Amino acid sequence: MSAGKFYVTTPIYYVNDQPHIGHAYTTILADVLARYHRLSGAPTFFLTGADEHGQKVARAAERAGMTPQEQADTTVVRFQALWKRLGITNDDFIRTTEPRHTRVVQAILKDLHERDDIYRAEYDGWYCVPCERFYTEKDLVDGKCPEAGCGRPVERITESNYFFRMSKYQGWLVDYIRQHPAFIRPDFRRNETLGFLRKPLNDLCVSRPKKRLSWGIELPFDRDFVTYVWFDALVNYITGVGYGSDDALFRRWWPASCQLIGKDILTTHTVYWPTMLKAVNAPIPETIFAHGWWLVGRDKMSKTEGNVVDPMAFADRYGVDPFRYFLMAEMPLGQDASFTEEAFVRRYNTDLANDLGNMLSRVLKLVHSHAGGCVPAPGAEGAEEAHLREATLQAARAMRTSVEAMELDRGLASLAAALRETNRYFEKRRPWASAKAGDATALGTTLYHALEALRVVGGMLYPVMPEKMAELRAALGLPGQTSDFDDLTRWGVLAAGRRVGEPRSLFPRIEPDSRDPKLATAVKKDAMTPTPQTSPTSPTGPSASTAPTSGAAPVGVTAIAFDEFQKVQLRTAKILEAYKVEGADKLLRIVVEVGEEKRQIVAGIAKHYAPEQIVGKTIVLVYNLAPAKIRSVESNGMLLAATRGEQMRLVTLDGDLPSGAMVK
């Protein structure tokens, strides 16, 4: 991302229904990134908005018995209210029905038409209303929309329309993507777009006849047509920063530093959008980042399935900041993640109530009872203090690095580990015993270092949980917002003698809720059951043994029928990425490619393999294993490894074979 400025965008959201957790996640992510860059001193601009044209909006209005504009005006306030409730700090909120946007879209269309980059032709093909996209016969999957997560029926349409000569930019786009690896992230999404571009690229239909759809921006050169909603919507990213109206503003902010999207709109943003920009001679965004979906079990959230999480209701029940924290900590950026109330409660009680909130309360109580309510002066730093200092500052550095690397979950895991280290330090130093023994120096040293750790971690968590971390900083006697991230990479900033706030319960523990048996069970498990320690072989596979020569099972081995064995699906999988799981010495989080699919698994092989040793290997994966959470990280499958004594070897192939192949 360019030094000196940070411009982040979200997709603009359809105003055909209520906002859901997918909208909330992308917008909170953009807000967290914007807040981090502001605190690092970078001039920052954050744009979000509403997509108010197109057939989906028109049909929603028809069902509601109102005009499309009334539908847009009624629904858009729900998004604006939610963003206010969730503490979103966007600098602008653009609506595609605004005159400023209409003028820019029509100016671009007119320019492209005059240069013959837009032409009229007959079209015959299939149209998906929910996706608002045309498809050819060969694109369809079982006669339905091919888009991931859609799969709905399509309509046959034959009509005259206007087309953008997108195909003429195909060669340029392929070269650009290859020469600019940061343009599409994560890398496997870049490969997905390049795979799409291996086929000849069709021209893009950019109009809809008014006789079929009147709700849209009228073409400036033909009043019988309106603009295709995706061509209209994508232009918002430059409209919002002055394209065609304020050249100085546009030069200041464009190109965008980071455009956040869901993986289901990858093609529109990495094929349609850059070719449109190239056609008008505008710079290409630095990064298009496609994140994953929130799932319920293994299924995408869907209104049709009735499993959509209402972010407003969830935030009202548990608080905005814990909700923001969970979304950022639970999903590895680029991968899918499972959303359950049980997972939320476990993470809340562990990271926030126990490790952060309880630590703050304990320190403040001792400061008030034994240090006159003021930050005590520390004595000489010992080995334990040095270890806590380095662990905390390292976590702060890791968090800053994770923002640039778009790995917020890993940065937050580092901060959570620093809080656990602070709790361990407190237990080792036993400040209550120092107080009882009258050892003021030892007591002051322990309390000071615990307060410093809370200051650093609280400051780094501020962009994620601004309200709660402002409360934490106030409790430490500090301004509600740190103005300089550099303070968070230095130790000893707290001044001795500064008055601290009263002990407080920053994150009250969530107790069992008798009205929700499922939630109550999860909370009880969290409160009473220690986190299971995973053995090295459990997330990888069984140990190898010499097979018997007869048909009987060896002593101590349970025999299974052949039809039971047939239920297990083994497939080849290529390892794309691997990372250590924070706080777990034995575990690696591994991203694998299985044919066209990407998955995340957790494997207990970190004692035997460094992450860089396994990237690129083709392994054998138990493909149809039910997903499981291991140390709060979702694992979707299991790799096979052989062990004997202290040795472990991955089960790999003895030659080249594409990923996704069946193992028989």
Q: What is the CATH number of the domain that holds 644?
A: 2.40.50.140
Is 311 contained in some domain?
A: no
Model confidence band, residue 519 (pLDDT cutoffs 50, 70, 90): very low
Same domain (yes/no): 562, 516:
no
pLDDT tops 80 at residue 612: no
Same domain (yes/no): 463, 401:
yes
The β-bridge partners of 124 are: 158
Same domain (yes/no): 560, 521:
no
What CATH number does the domain containing 374 carry?
A: 1.10.730.10
Q: What is the pLDDT of residue 543?
A: 32
In one-letter notation, the amino acid at residue 83 is W
Is 261 contained in some domain?
A: no
3-state SS class at 15: coil
Q: What is the pLDDT of residue 561?
A: 55
Same domain (yes/no): 611, 636:
yes
Q: What is the pLDDT of residue 559?
A: 58
Same domain (yes/no): 525, 544:
no
The Cα–Cα gap between 234 and 586 comes to 45
The β-bridge partners of 599 are: 592
Using alpha carbons only, what angle is made at residue 527 by residues 521 and 529, rounded to the nearest 5 degrees?
85
The Cα–Cα gap between 404 and 423 comes to 29
Same domain (yes/no): 613, 644:
yes
Q: Which range of residues forms the domain containing residue 388?
A: 340-529
Is 262 contained in some domain?
A: no
Is 35 contained in some domain?
A: no
pLDDT tops 90 at residue 389: yes
The β-bridge partners of 592 are: 575, 599
**pLDDT single digits (tens) 583-601:** 677 888 888 888 767 789 8
Same domain (yes/no): 511, 562:
no
Given a contact cutoff of 8 angstroms between Cβ atoms, the answer to whether 209 and 225 are in contact is yes
Q: How many domains does the chain have?
A: 2
**pLDDT single digits (tens) 185-243:** 999 999 999 999 999 999 999 999 999 889 999 999 999 999 999 999 999 999 999 99
The residue among 529, 547, 580 that closes a domain is 529
Percent of the chain past pLDDT 70, that is, above it, reads: 86
Mean pLDDT lowest among 125-139, 353-367, 506-520, 521-535: 521-535
Between 602 and 560, name the one with better pLDDT.
602
Mean pLDDT of 340-345: 86
Is 224 contained in some domain?
A: no
Same domain (yes/no): 344, 483:
yes
Q: What is the mean pLDDT of the chain?
A: 85
Is 560 contained in some domain?
A: yes
The residue among 510, 529, 548 that closes a domain is 529
Between 357 and 659, name the one with better pLDDT.
357
Between 559 and 440, name the one with better pLDDT.
440
3-state SS class at 367: helix
Same domain (yes/no): 518, 369:
yes
Q: Please tell me which of 102-111, 143-152, 647-656 the model is most confident about, judged by mean pLDDT.
A: 102-111
Is 122 contained in some domain?
A: no
pLDDT tops 60 at residue 540: no
Same domain (yes/no): 525, 536:
no
Q: What is the pLDDT of residue 571?
A: 84
Is 11 contained in some domain?
A: no
**pLDDT single digits (tens) 268-310:** 999 999 999 999 999 999 999 999 988 876 566 555 555 666 7
The residue among 502, 529, 556 that closes a domain is 529
Taking alpha carbons only, the member of 449, 150, 433, 88 closest to residue 300 is: 150
Q: What is the pLDDT of residue 137?
A: 79
Q: Is 481 left (phi over 0), alpha (psi -120 to 50) or beta?
A: beta
Model confidence band, residue 637 (pLDDT cutoffs 50, 70, 90): confident
Same domain (yes/no): 344, 484:
yes
Given a contact cutoff of 8 angstroms between Cβ atoms, the answer to whether 634 and 338 are in contact is yes
Model confidence band, residue 552 (pLDDT cutoffs 50, 70, 90): very low
Same domain (yes/no): 546, 649:
yes
Would strands 44-51 and 92-95 be described as parallel, antiparallel, or unpaired? Answer: parallel
Taking alpha carbons only, the member of 253, 412, 441, 245 closest to residue 333 is: 412
